[in-house]
Amino acid sequence: MVILKDMKKKLLILIPICILEFLSIYYLKDSYQLKQLIWFILGLISFTFILKLKEKHLKVLSIFLYLLSIILLIVVLFHPYTNGSRGWLKLYKISIQPSEITKLSLILITYYLVNKGLKSKLIFLSIYLIPSILTFIEPDTGACLIYGIIFLYFLPKFFKKKEIILLFSIGLVILMSLIYLYIYKKDLFIDIFSTSIYYRLDRITSFKEQSSMQVNNALISIGSGKLLYFPEANNDFFLAYLVSKNYYNFFIIILCYFLILLKLLLLKMPLSTLSFYLILFPVIENIGMNLSLLPVIGIPLPYLSYGGSHTIISFMILGLGLKRLSNTNNMN
């Protein structure tokens, strides 16, 4: 009875999530509504699967998903560009985003390593470096940042404070070098990387000059409630689209995310804090992007923006956050 009562309390988090999903389905175009409803149902099934999955099976699932994600990240590089990126694989009539699967696989395989006491620094760095490079080449900077959040969450489990400072110093030098090449050595930057990566970075910095049509339209829509044109209305700028339809939608969305995050923050599960950050960051980034406060990096709103891979994986990560796992001392 105690376990059942505890489970019911956890599942209360699904109420604001369902409100967001129904809001999304209601305002999506007719051609997208049925698809998103299917993704929502599959997400709930995946969420239940993760909650019911025995911990001894996590090892097999983590290794399988990680290897699958690496294979898909390699295969997607041979696909044509869409909107400056190669982030989607088309299988018949279904599009799969490998970077979404990678997020889940990184959480699972790192948790398994930590829980079993396998704290090899080289293995840990390799696990994150390989998919990060492949995803950056696509290029998908938003997914790379999500990998970074997962990496930082588990970093203290593998490195001491002095080692972490050294890693950050090396990372800062690399970052400053890339920024220098991007600003002052454009041709060399393109030769080393590619035109598509330069295009993606240029898109990220465009919010400073207010040169993005979608960003400008988002500001006008949120500020005045006028419905303007958004090429990515179902994804990146879905918030602005919803607010232009009904200004009260903004307050409903903010309230739902507040309740979701509060519930995760109050939970004492091994991965609930990580789930909290993986929802908080996309929400802040996407809202900031719509308000022209943060760059456009293609991060959708969890449980609200349209997309199959994104919706299903978000539910599975939430399931991990609510899951009661044994041997949690290594995570505290």
The helix/strand/coil state of 53 is: coil
Q: Which of 56-70, 136-150, 251-265 has the highest mean pLDDT?
A: 251-265
Q: What is the pLDDT of residue 277?
A: 94
Which amino acid does the sequence have at 82?
A: T
Q: Taking residues 128-134, report their average pLDDT.
A: 91
Q: pLDDT band at 115, cuts 50/70/90? A: confident
The yes-or-no verdict on residue 22 having pLDDT over 70 is yes
The CA distance from 39 to 25, in Å, is: 10
Instruction: Read off the pLDDT band of 161 (50, 70, 90).
Output: confident
The lowest-confidence range among 84-93, 97-106, 116-125, 206-215 is 206-215
Question: Of residues 232 and 146, which shows the higher confidence score?
Answer: 146
Residue 282 pLDDT level (bands cut at 50, 70, 90): very high
Q: Which residues are CB-contacts of 150 (< 8 A; sequence separation ≥ 6)?
A: 103, 106, 107, 110, 128, 274, 278
84 against 271, higher pLDDT: 271
Task: Quote the strand ranges of the chain, DSSP E.
Answer: 89-91, 94-96
Residue carrying the six token digits 């919706």: 311
Residue 148 has pLDDT above 50, yes or no: yes
Residues 6+ positions from 270 with CB-CB distance below 8 Å? 111, 323, 325, 328, 331, 332
**pLDDT band, very low/low/confident/very high, at 94 (cuts 50, 70, 90):** confident
Residues in the chain: 332
Mean per-residue pLDDT for 257-273?
89
Spatial distance between the Cα atoms of 82 and 79, rounded to a whole number of angstroms: 9
Residue 41 CA, distance from chain mean position: 19
User: How far apart are alpha carbons 203 and 196 in whole angstroms?
Assistant: 10
Query: What pLDDT does residue 151 have?
Result: 93
What are the tokens at 49?
Answer: 């699967």
Answer whether 0.85 is exceeded by the pTM: no
Measured CA to CA, the distance from residue 212 to residue 220 in angstroms comes to: 13
d(CA 297, CA 114): 31
C-beta separation of 268 from 257 below 8 A: no
Query: How far is Cα 58 from Cα 296, in angstroms, rounded to an integer?
Result: 35
User: What whole-number distance in Å separates Cα of residue 197 and Cα of residue 76?
Assistant: 15
